Amino acid sequence: NAGVTQTPKFRVLKTGQSMTLLCAQDMNHEYMYWYRQDPGMGLRLIHYSVGEGTTAKGEVPDGYNVSRLKKQNFLLGLESAAPSQTSVYFCASSFPTMGQETQYFGPGTRLLVL
Partner 1 sequence: AQSVTQLGSHVSVSEGALVLLRCNYSSSVPPYLFWYVQYPNQGLQLLLKYTTGATLVKGINGFEAEFKKSETSFHLTKPSAHMSDAAEYFCAVRGGYKLSFGAGTTVTVRA
Please state the closest distance from residue 106 (CB atom) to partner 1, in A.
5
Return the DSSP state at 84.
G
Site string for partner 1, 31-70 (x = CB under 8 A): x-x------xxxxxx--x-x-----x-x------------
Q: Would you call 77 exposed, middle or buried from its count of C-beta atoms within 10 A (0-12, 13-18, 19+)?
A: middle
Q: How far apart are CA 4 and CA 104, in angstroms?
A: 7
Q: Which is nearer to partner 1, 58 or 63 (CB)?
A: 58
- Kindly determine how many residues on this chain lie close enough to bind partner 1 according to the rule CB under 8 A: 23
